[in-house]
Amino acid sequence: MTINIDYETDIRIVPEIPEEEIINKVITQACDYEKCPYEVEVNVLLTDNESIHETNREYRGVDAPTDVLSFPMIDYEAPADFAFLEDSPVEDYFDPDTGELLLGDIVISVEKVMEQAEKYGHSVKRELAFLVAHSMLHLFGYDHMEPDEAEVMEDKQNQILLNIGITRMEDNI
C-alpha cells in the first residue's frame, strides 16, 4: 500500500497530533473494511481554506471552502464492487510500476479540521479521521446524495472509526 501525504500549507493541525499516523490507519482500515482485494495507492493533500476553496470552485463549481474533497479514479458499477477490474485493462486502474490499484486523491483543509472539531465538540484527531474515512468511502464509489445512501455512508464511517478505536467520546489511536 502506498499512501502519499503532501502538505500544501504551513498550518499544522496541532503539533501533538500525528496526522500521518491517523491518515495511514484510517486508509488501511477502510481498505480492510471494504475488503479491497488489491494493494492500493492513495494521495492525500493537506491544505488550507484558501486553496481548497479554489479547488472546490474549479472542480465542483462551488465558490466556498469545504472540509474535504475526493477525486476517485475508478467508476464502480456498484460501490466497492471490485469484480469488474478483473476484466479491465490493467493500465486503466493500476500503477504500471507497482501494480497497485490507483484509488484516487483526497484533499483536506486543516483549517476546517480544527474549526469543525471545535464546532462539533470532539478532538481534531477524531475530525481528521472522520474526514479521511468519509473520503475513502467516496473513493470506493459511495455517495450520500439520497437519504438511504447517506445512512449507508454514515454507518460505514462510524464502523471504520470504531474499528480503530475512535468514537465521538473517545479516540484511542
Annotated binding site for Zn(2+): 134, 138, 144
How far, in Å, CA of 35 to CA of 30, rounded? 8
How far, in Å, CA of 171 to CA of 166, rounded? 4
At position 119, the amino acid (one-letter code) is K
Spatial contact of 13 and 67, defined as CB atoms under 8 Å apart: no
C-alpha cell at 30: 477502510
Distances (CA, A) of 134 to 15, 91, 110, 126: 24, 27, 15, 12
Spatial contact of 68 and 131, defined as CB atoms under 8 Å apart: yes
Q: What is the DSSP letter of 171?
A: B
Closest CA relative to residue 153, chosen from 120, 130, 122: 130
Closest CA relative to residue 125, chosen from 159, 155, 169: 169
Annotated binding site: 134, 138, 144
